[in-house]
Amino acid sequence: MTAENGSTEKPTAEGAAEALGGDEQKAQGQTQAPVAILAQYIKDLSFEVPGAPQVYVELQNAKPDITVNIDVRAEPFQETVFEVTLHISASCKVADKTAFICELVYAGLCTVNVPEEHRQAMLLIECPRLLFPFARNIVADATRDGGFPPLMLAPVDFVSMFQNMVAQQQAQAQAGGNGTEKA
């Protein structure tokens, strides 16, 4: 940012709030980011190799079949603070035998300062987007430490996941509303 006298000044939170129309917050002496991660942590981590050591031999001769499922949940913690959890389960089969099972519940305490109508989208899109790289690293490390090549999860489209969830809820609401009504 360049000032009128040609000197350079570093952007500040107040300047960013003002540029984004945060004059009211600035007047109150507050500038709040729409989303902030207060803490992040592993709630649960499990890694199993039920067929060891034979599975390592079979892995040399057969192609692994890997299945990954990801779910996002959000629970209120305080007024504007929510616990957002990523539930990641990955399983690998080799020749119809389970090679490994990895289950991770990775959570973050997220402050969300947006209007109520945008809160669910922020909790189920933006917060998991910020948490995912750390969870991805944990899964990669767990599989590598378990004696397998690291499982590098592909980027996740949390927007599509959210849109699918909303569409599914609307379809269920419509199906529930089409029943016969009692007088």
Condensed to tens digits (0 to 9), the pLDDT of residues 38-73 reads 999 999 999 999 989 999 999 999 999 999 999 999
Q: What is the pLDDT of residues 108-167, one digit of tens each?
A: 999 999 999 999 999 999 999 999 999 999 999 999 999 999 999 999 999 999 999 999
Which residues is 129 bridged to in the sheet? none
Classify domain 32-151 at the CATH topology level. Bacterial Protein-export protein SecB (3.10.420)
Q: Report d(CA 101, CA 125) in Å as an integer.
A: 26
Quickly list H helices, 23-107: 23-27, 54-61
**Does pLDDT of 87 surpass 70?**
yes
Domain ranges of the chain: 32-151
Confidence of residue 177 (pLDDT cuts 50, 70, 90): low
| CA distances for 39 relative to 64, 81, 155, angstroms | 35, 11, 22
Strand 81-94: give its sheet, edge to edge. Answer: 35-48, 97-112, 81-94, 65-76
Average pLDDT over residues 2-17: 40
pLDDT of residue 20: 42
Q: What is the value of pTM for the model shown? A: 0.77
| CA distances for 165 relative to 23, 35, 83, 132, 170, angstroms | 35, 21, 19, 19, 9
By residue count, the chain amounts to: 183
